[in-house]
Amino acid sequence: MIIEKIKNLVNQNNFIGVEKYFRASVAIPIFNNNGEEHILFEKRAADIRQGGEVSLPGGQCEDEEHDTSITAIREISEELGLDHQKINYLGKFGTLITPFGALIDVYIIELLVSDIYSLNFDKSEVELVFSLPLEYFFNNEPSVFFAKAQVIPNYVDEDGTLVESFPAKEFNLPPKYHKPWGTHKHRILVYDTKPEVVWGITAEIIYDFSKKLKGII
């Protein structure tokens, strides 16, 4: 009976519609800096996607990478110019679901290095690297801002043409869907740090990680 088949689909903690998400993997790289644990950050090269932003090492999962931890290790090796012997994989921390259609698996990796400024990082992807003490994030809360996120069913393109991306009128949907709708507030965290500001997705990951770690030490 169909009901018996349906029972095989329940209680499996499925992500519905996961195939439409951009899948990515990032690493929280931790290393010992003169007896103090630091987190390494990158500033992305100016001419790549999201250029000029502060990020954690990582990137899009390739089709053949059945395990996203492979992506995290590959990306940190390529971006920082590190041999695998210098990468101590500690495990998966969690998954961040962004409001912009991305699933980001987060891994924790220990870098077996003492001087990140001598790293031969990939300058086509990384403008610079810097680090901040883990203790900083234990003791400092980020600034919190909220940006309004809306669904925009139609817009005017660069040629001045009205693009109907979602034909709500055609389907005779309620009038509120004929124009931008939604009152969702998207939280943006900002750590006003030097030499670069840590914010957005990167700040969300570090905030959650440092809060949970502080709670158990």
How does pLDDT run across 148-188, given as a tens digit for each residue? 888 889 888 889 898 889 999 999 999 999 988 887 888 99
How does pLDDT run across 83-130, given as a tens digit for each residue? 999 999 999 999 998 888 889 999 999 999 988 988 999 989 999 999
Alpha helices, DSSP H, located in 81-158: 134-139
Token pair, residue 110, equals 């220990």
- Residue 45: half-sphere exposure toward Cβ, Cα within 13 Å: 10
Q: How far apart are CA 31 and CA 38, in angstroms?
A: 5
pTM above threshold 0.85: yes
